[in-house]
Chain A
Amino acid sequence: DADVTQTPRNRITKTGKRIMLECSQTKGHDRMYWYRQDPGLGLRLIYYSFDVKDINKGEISDGYSVSRQAQAKFSLSLESAIPNQTALYFCATSNGPGLVSFGPGTRLTVL
């Protein structure tokens, strides 16, 4: 089984809809992240969390919110999706100053 899982893997939605992307991990890592990838721009950090009581904005948090329901779960919400939020979204986990493990990604299309 994968250590970091994301659901759904693909989603098509319409402008104005609320969308939630979910991430679960079995690695026991405290740190979790949400990144967004657009063509030609690499990955950009949306939100990150040190533990269930710690939520921090990344460089592109506008239009997004997150919830750390448990150590193993970190969800990303788009309250009112817009077309320029069409992108590939990655969840990641880390145990500190070392390796970061990425989930397989969620491809989101907003029409």
Chain B
Amino acid sequence: SQQGEEDPQALSIQEGENATMNCSYKTSINNLQWYRQNSGRGLVHLILIRSNEREKHSGRLRVTLDTSKKSSSLLITASRAADTASYFCATDAENTGFQKLVFGTGTRLLVSP
């Protein structure tokens, strides 16, 4: 079963606007990661946030993590048409003894020029 659920499933915005995607998960985690996937292609790692971190930045990306609510958000600021892609959160659950990423269902982002 999927560990993470992303919200919204699809998001359509204009260039320059901010895009926020949310991820909820079910079990305690070691870390949570966000990936990007251009249509039908491989996944590209964007950012990793550990369970003891609350916020992390990378360029135009900002990720927050609330372990009490078992949720994370990804904010893309000043979006560009090139940001159009699907975005997935993935969790590395605690106490698995082995890193197994469990993926959410993804958010499809469309950024229009």
Count, chain B residues at interface, CB 8 A: 26
Q: What string of 1s and 0s marks CB contacts (under 8 Å) between B72-113 and chain A?
A: 000000000000000010101000001111111110000000
Contacts of A105 in B (CB 8 A): 40-42
Report whether over half of chain A's contact residues are helix, strand or loop; otherwise say mixed.
Answer: strand
Q: Looking at the complex, which one of B40, B90, B104 makes contact with A107 (CB distance below 8 Å)?
A: B40
Asked if A43 contacts B103 (CB within 8 A), the reply is yes
Chain A minimum-CB-distance residue to B104: A42
Asked if B33 contacts A42 (CB within 8 A), the reply is no
Count, chain A residues at interface, CB 8 A: 29
> Is B11's CB within 8 Å of the partner chain A?
no
> Is A41's CB within 8 Å of the partner chain B?
yes
Asked if B102 contacts A45 (CB within 8 A), the reply is yes
B86 shortest CB reach to chain A, Å: 9
17 contacts between A and B (CB under 8 A): A40-B106, A42-B88, A42-B105, A42-B106, A43-B88, A43-B101, A48-B98, A48-B100, A56-B98, A58-B100, A88-B40, A90-B43, A94-B99, A96-B99, A98-B48, A100-B99, A105-B42
